[in-house]
């Protein structure tokens, strides 16, 4: 929910959010609707996307946030399974610093 609550700020900083998990399309649709998420959710069957980004775990998939610029360059990687709200805070800090660089 933290990313939903920060949607306007993130968009103001010129960024977009894409959530990726191995949950089914149907599960994503229900979750997106029930949580009123304004951003895109992608189903990652077989964890292909996770593997490409090195976001794989031993027992459970890790919670990882990537900030990727318009050229496709990863500017920041933040991983924390237990502190979900810290992902948004970190992403906003990185986006703000990138905006200052321009």
Task: Domain ranges for the chain, please list them.
Answer: 2-97
pLDDT for 58? 80
pLDDT for 84? 84
Q: CATH homologous superfamily of domain 2-97?
A: Glutaredoxin (3.40.30.10)
Instruction: Please give the mean pLDDT across all residues of the chain.
Output: 92
Q: 37-58: per-residue pLDDT in tens? A: 999 999 998 899 999 999 988 8
Instruction: For residue 95, count CB atoms less than 10 angstroms from its CB and return exposed for 0-12, middle for 13-18, buried for 19 or more.
Output: buried
Where the chain has pLDDT below 70, the residues are 1, 102
| Alpha helix stretches (DSSP H) within the chain | 2-5, 7-12, 25-35, 48-53, 84-101
């Amino acid at each position: 929910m933290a990313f939903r609550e920060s949607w306007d700020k993130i968009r103001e900083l010129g960024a977009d959010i894409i959530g990726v998990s191995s949950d089914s399309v149907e599960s994503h649709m229900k979750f997106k609707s029930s949580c009123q998420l304004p951003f895109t959710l992608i189903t990652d069957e077989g964890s292909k996307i996770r593997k490409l980004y090195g976001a794989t775990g031993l027992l459970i998939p890790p919670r990882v946030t990537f900030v990727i610029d318009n050229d496709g360059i990863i500017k920041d990687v933040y991983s924390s399974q237990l502190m979900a709200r810290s992902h948004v805070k970190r992403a906003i800090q990185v986006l703000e610093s990138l905006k200052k660089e321009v």
